[in-house]
Amino acid sequence: MKATMQTTQTLSAVSPPRARNISFAWLGVVPFFIFAILFLILPSATLLIGSVQDRQGNLTLGNFAGMFQGVTLKFVAAPSEASLLGVTFPLPFTVDFQSNSIVSAYILSMQVGIITALTGGIFGFLLAYAAVLGGLPKFVRSALLTFSGVASYFSGVPLAFAFVATLGRLGFITVLLRNYFDFDLYMTGFSVISLLGLILTYTYFQFPLMVLVITPALDGLKREWREASENLGASGAEYWRYVAFPIILPSLLGTMILLFGNSFGAVATAYALTGGNFQLATILIFRQIRGEVLQDPGLGYAVAVGMIIVMALSLALYYWLQRRSERWLRR
């Protein structure tokens, strides 16, 4: 308390004679908050307000209800089958969203987000594990970190072009396989302008991010933990199962959530790769702004606000996990 008061005194001693004590300190951050209000909060708030208004400007939740229009949920006696991420499992109801472009777009975006978070996340984790704990020479680790730092910035339009140039019909790998291995990639049904192509492309900037985040976490595993567990009779596998993996799991999951958001909010790569024909939620908004789809503007705002909600939820989950692991690893 005393120290604070002293500081205030010394500071006011150099400030102009009349601007004393109160209010002066606030001036320093005012531009920042004006900026934030004008270019972050106001635009988001406008979308939010637009999403709960009908054409006449009356308050309504109709736009959000409209997002689900045409989706039917039927409970059936015999379990139907659903397929998510290529895994089929039984469900006690059927959902039909094919006729609703909004819900389909959201589901596609989430699929891409989840799959690339998983592929990028797992691949990135394995790479970091190999470099940090795999017993490889030191230079491998610094090389991996450097490349990851660089590759994580490779996104947007150029990334899409790079994958077309590599895996497209006339792409480098496609031609290589055809000429030297007599194998036609495109005869298998593969296309770079497909879900698989998009996933491969997104993974390119996803896995480096995982490497960058998880490497410090792996460094944080103390040697004593391993020794203590060995001393208590645990094998290497048991150490990983009971100690190391649970310790890094929150950062692992947290990072995957960031990766999910990263892919969920991306638009440039997908647009450049598929020419806007691939119905992701971001592409839907892209076309909505251009006035190509959805006649109802309120519905467009609702779609945008829906994305904000998904991002906010994922961020909240990320923070929850982050706090958990920080608490563990304090001191």
Partner 1 sequence: MAFLELTNVSKVFGQTAAVQDFNLNVERGEFVSFLGPSGCGKTTTLRMIAGFELPTTGTVIINGNDVTFKPPQKRNTGMVFQAYALFPNMNVAENIGFGLKIARKPKDEIKKRVEEVLAIIKMDSFGNRYPYQLSGGQQQRVALARALAIQPQVLLLDEPLSALDAKIRVSLRQEIRAIQQKLGITTVYVTHDQEEALSLSDRVVVMNNAKIEQVGTPFEIYNFPNTEFTAQFVGTLNHISATVRDVANGVLAIDSQQVVTAQKLEGVSNGTAVTVSIRPERISFAEDGRKPNVLNIKVENITFLGSIVRVQVRAGDNLFLMDTFNNPFLKLPEIGDTVEITFSKEAVLVLKNGS
Partner 2 sequence: MKRSTLFPWILIFLGFLYFFLPLIGTLDFSLRLVKDQITLEAYKNVLTSARFQNTFTYSFVMALWTILAGTLLITPTAYWVHLKLPHLRPLIEFVTLLTYVVPAIILVFGIIRVYSRPPLSILESELGADFLLVMGYVAMSLPAMYRSVDTGLRAMDVRTLTEAAQSLGAGWRTILAAVIFPNLRIALLSGAFITFAMVIGEFTIATFLARPAFGPYMANLGQTRPYESTALTIISLSLTWACIGVMQFLGRGTQGQIQVTR
Q: Which positions lie near partner 1, rule CB under 8 A?
A: 222, 224-225, 227-235, 238, 242-243, 246-247, 327-331
> Is 44 near partner 2 (CB under 8 A)?
yes
Q: Of these partners, partner 2, partner 1, none, which one is at the site of residue 44 (CB under 5 to 8 Å by kind)?
A: partner 2
Pairwise CA distance, residues 313 & 319, whole Å: 10
Q: Between residues 138 and 331, which has the closer beta carbon with respect to partner 1? A: 331
Pick the piece of the chain touching partner 2 (CB under 8 A) from 27-35, 59-67, 180-188, 237-245. 27-35
Task: Please state, in angstroms and rounded to a whole number, the distance separating the CA atoms of residues 123 and 140.
Answer: 16
116 pairs with which residues across the strands?
Answer: none
Closer Cβ to partner 1, 55 or 223, answer by number: 223
* Cα(239)–Cα(11) distance, integer angstroms: 55
Restricted to residues 226-265, the positions that interact with partner 2 (CB under 8 A) are: 258, 261-262, 264-265
Q: Which does 202 bind (CB under 5 to 8 A by kind): partner 1, partner 2, none?
A: none
> Six-digit token pair at 327?
């608490």
Q: How far is the CB of 188 from partner 2 (least distance, A)?
A: 18
Is residue 134 involved in binding partner 2 (CB under 8 A)? yes
For the CB of residue 172, give the shortest distance to partner 2 in the complex, in Å: 3
Radius of gyration of the chain from its Cα atoms, rounded to whole angstroms: 26
Q: How far is the CB of 246 from partner 2 (least distance, A)?
A: 22
Find the shortest distance in angstroms from Cβ 33 to partner 2.
Answer: 8
Question: Binds 76, which of partner 2, partner 1, none (CB < 5 to 8 A, cut-off by type)?
Answer: none
Shortest Å distance, C-beta 216 to partner 1: 16
Which of partner 2, partner 1, none has residue 234 at its interface (CB below 5 to 8 Å by kind)? partner 1
